[in-house]
Structure 1
Amino acid sequence: MRDELTGKPQRERTDLHGTGLRYKVRYVDPEGRERSKSFPDRRKKAAEDFLGEMESGVRAGTYLDPDAGKVPFREYAESWVKGQSSDASSRQSIESRLRSQLYPFFDRRPVDAIGPARVRDWLAWLEERRLDGTYRAVLFDTLSSIMNAAVEDKLIRDNPCQARSIKRPRRSTHRVVPWPVERVRAVQEGLAERWRLAADVGAGLGLRQGEVLGLSAGDLDTAEAVLHVVRQLRIIRGQLVFAPPKGGKSRTVPLPDEVRAAVAMHRRSFPPTRVRLPWLEPGGRTVEVELLLSNERGEPHSGDHFNKVMWRGAFRATGLVYAPRTDGMHALRHFYASTLLAGGVSIKEVAEYLGHADPGFTLRTYTHLVPSSHARARQAVDAVLGGGANSSDGLRTA
């Protein structure tokens, strides 16, 4: 278009006016490479601030590559998982949490775009799904660990999970109510005969379900009256494997006469079966174990199959109402712990027999089951301050 008076060309604004990149910032990163970033019209102040931040970071040693944090959350998390526990079952649990509760929300979002506001929205989303408080706390710890790693890898400057506005989910507190012995016996009677031993060793030795299903006759030392808990049966990526007990630590548990007799009786009716499975994870070296518990074909069962068929079948057979929260096989461990505490066994010993790494966890779980020592405390003080059991003078002051 030309000006009517001068005839000179005249510029005319189009829809693209002001939308181009007008300012270009150049700086040298700590590796000596020249970097640049462009800014649109009317963003001169933003360009200057960016340049100042980059140069300041280079001088102070706190420089972050502005492009490093653009990696998608899922991609970074998948890399992070590889550096976690070498235990296949632990990695499988972490991967399951990521797939079900983190990837659906964060997925392709860049790591540096996950701020406190996004974390708060995610926590609200988890609460709307009515997830248990303890599970939400575990999920939060998983996200926080990933973002901590991102800080260490210099993808982001701060972990958004540690912002003051973020409230970590509180773990649920479910008071353990041990089964009465009558319920233990009823479930035991309801189990099919070849699986009845599971209730005997669960209630009498406090084993976890995988440890029960992976139990071998060779684990019993009848001379010393102990059981060596050295393995469990797990399912990893859809395949049964043998693995060390939870935490990778074996332990020794006292062997009561009742349990020893139950094992002997079971072996007469159902001789141990040699089972060869991978150790730790599919494709690993195989080990052969003489299992005490197996089906009619001499095959072991996964915990899921045992729960759905044998365990719940015992409730149906006896007419007992099954409550998922309190009636899982873990109830036998609670029964075992409560029995020991009622018998005066110390918390430290109970923790050792249950395979708890922290006796404090055992105390927090079962503290309400520890017999009261109030009477013994009163008697002890009265015996000293009262001058003897028959004294009626009480405590005198000078």
Structure 2
Amino acid sequence: MAKKGGRRRFGMVRQLPSKRWQASFIGPNNKRQYAPNTFRTKTDADRWLVGVEADISRGAWLDDKLGRQPFGEYADAYLRDNPDVGDRWEETCRRNMRLHMVELLELPLIAITPPVVRSWYAKALAGKGGKTSIGQSYRFLRAVMNAAKRDRAITNNPCQIPGAGSDKAKERGIASPAQVAEVVEAITPRYRAAVLLAAWCGLRRGEICALRTEDVDLVNGVVWVRKNRVELLESPRKYDKDPKTDAGLRDVAIPPHVLPYLVEHMREWAGKDRFFVGKDGRPMRGNAVYQAFVRARDRVGLAVSFHDLRHTGQTLAASTGATLADLKKRLGHASAAAALRYLHVVEGRDRELASQLSELAARGSAVKLPKTIVVKH
């Protein structure tokens, strides 16, 4: 409202050539907002601004123009402008928008209510789409609507379905050391080192394909993880990128029994710059590694995925007494929760521990016990 004899405290009004009055103000989003309609008198325009100012002061103001924007347009901008969205996740979300979210794309943000979300989600689950992609779609919808709430386009996030879109960590298969050895023998020789780096050093497939020759120190028995190879399904783009977190930058000690295979790989198949290259000399494609692994896996009758090799090695490392901190460093995880997924009791380990306890009891001497007990987390 305008102060008597002074400048207006909030907003601005002006008379248009039509003699009607237009009201506007700078919103909490630092953008000028205009009233949805013009006013017959200046007093009416002032009164509208008073109401807007009150809404802002109690946190109830919404950006009406943004709220009317179609979900598809807003989601597109979210994917394009959000620095936290990686290329793979963007590709996944755009594919899910085409396959599973068509009925939401033209709806204004303010029209996507809890009943609308429940109806869409129920139909999506009843359709032909897989539960994984439907869950991804729901999480994406929830993330976009959270952004819309922060932008003051909507009051509350309409994604309120308990448990919907939850990303539950599934139990992964574990290969025994003997089974890993069988796969190594069955696979095409140029891929043996990839299997061993995944199983015994915990490298991801993208990290394996991104390794430079200089990253593999055969003298000191260390592999330096510095990059991750990104390959998109719907784009020919392939590139190396930095890890998501600083924890991904790590040096991993190579188990002695793996080292001879890496020496052989360096001599026979490594490129000048890349440790893993295809027959054409170009950087090894992740899919080539995966397909070679699948053929070898099926040949020996092993039901695990390539990523399960990473899980296998770290689970076995845990069985030797590795702490959570050890696993976090070796895996390149920033959070304890991620590394905890790999802490499982290997079959037979509990019986081994029981035997060791009996051996301790048989010795009977307190001198055999450590003077301090270290609790490993």
CA distance in structure 2 between the aligned counterparts of 1:82 and 1:158, rounded to whole angstroms:
23
2:55 is aligned, of 60, 75, 85, to 60
- Distance change >3 Å, CA 186–CA 378, structure 1 → 2: closer
Structure 1 residues not aligned, in runs of 5+:
1-25, 39-51, 275-289, 390-398
Q: Which residue of 2 aligns with 1:194?
A: 190
| Residue pair 1:228, 1:252 contacting (<8 A) in 2 also | yes
Q: State the Cα distance separating 1:346 from its structure 2 match.
A: 0.9
| Residue pair 2:67, 2:108 contacting (<8 A) in 1 also | yes
Aligned-partner SS, 2:229: strand
CA distance in structure 2 between the aligned counterparts of 1:130 and 1:357, rounded to whole angstroms:
36
- Distance change >3 Å, CA 170–CA 80, structure 1 → 2: closer
Aligned-partner SS, 1:291: coil
Q: State the Cα distance separating 1:147 from its structure 2 match.
A: 1.0
Q: 1:1-398, aligned counterparts within 5 Å?
A: 28=23, 30=25, 35-36=36-37, 56-61=51-56, 62-85=60-83, 88-90=86-88, 92-93=90-91, 95-96=93-94, 98-100=96-98, 103-129=101-127, 136-161=134-159, 163=160, 167-236=163-232, 237-247=235-245, 249-270=248-269, 272-274=270-272, 290-308=273-291, 310-316=292-298, 318=299, 320-321=300-301, 323=303, 327-369=304-346
Aligned-partner SS, 1:36: coil
CA distance in structure 1 between the aligned counterparts of 2:101 and 2:130, rounded to whole angstroms:
19
Q: State the Cα distance separating 1:166 from its structure 2 match.
A: 5.2
CA distance in structure 1 between the aligned counterparts of 2:318 and 2:34, rounded to whole angstroms:
67
TM (norm. structure 1) is 0.69
| Residue pair 1:206, 1:354 contacting (<8 A) in 2 also | yes
- Distance change >3 Å, CA 95–CA 167, structure 1 → 2: closer
Q: State the Cα distance separating 1:58 from its structure 2 match.
A: 3.6
Deviations, residues 158-194 of structure 1 (Å, cap 9, x unaligned): 2112x4x655344334223311223212221221112
TM (norm. structure 2) is 0.73
| Residue pair 2:315, 2:344 contacting (<8 A) in 1 also | no
Deviations, residues 267-318 of structure 1 (Å, cap 9, x unaligned): 2222x224xxxxxxxxxxxxxxx2222222212232223323x2222235x2
Letter in 1 for 2:154: I
CA distance in structure 1 between the aligned counterparts of 2:64 and 2:79, rounded to whole angstroms:
24
- Distance change >3 Å, CA 241–CA 184, structure 1 → 2: same
Q: State the Cα distance separating 1:203 from its structure 2 match.
A: 1.5
CA distance in structure 2 between the aligned counterparts of 1:112 and 1:127, rounded to whole angstroms:
24
Identity percentage over the alignment? Answer: 22
Aligned-partner SS, 2:61: coil
| Residue pair 1:176, 1:365 contacting (<8 A) in 2 also | no
CA distance in structure 2 between the aligned counterparts of 1:369 and 1:27, rounded to whole angstroms:
72
Q: Which residue of 2 aligns with 1:14?
A: none
Letter in 2 for 1:142: F
Letter in 2 for 1:299: R
Aligned-partner SS, 2:258: helix
Aligned-partner SS, 1:160: coil
Deviations, residues 337-381 of structure 1 (Å, cap 9, x unaligned): 1220111111221121011111222214424449659869989xx
- Distance change >3 Å, CA 348–CA 93, structure 1 → 2: farther
- Distance change >3 Å, CA 204–CA 312, structure 1 → 2: same
Q: State the Cα distance separating 1:139 from its structure 2 match.
A: 3.4
| Residue pair 2:216, 2:224 contacting (<8 A) in 1 also | yes
CA distance in structure 2 between the aligned counterparts of 1:366 and 1:126, rounded to whole angstroms:
35
The structure that has the greater radius of gyration is 1
Q: Which residue of 1 aligns with 2:11?
A: none
Q: Which residue of 2 aligns with 1:20?
A: none
Q: State the Cα distance separating 1:153 from its structure 2 match.
A: 1.8
Aligned-partner SS, 2:257: helix
CA distance in structure 2 between the aligned counterparts of 1:140 and 1:99, rounded to whole angstroms:
10
- Distance change >3 Å, CA 216–CA 235, structure 1 → 2: same
Structure 2 residues not aligned, in runs of 5+:
1-20, 27-32, 40-46, 368-377
Count residues in correspondence. Answer: 325
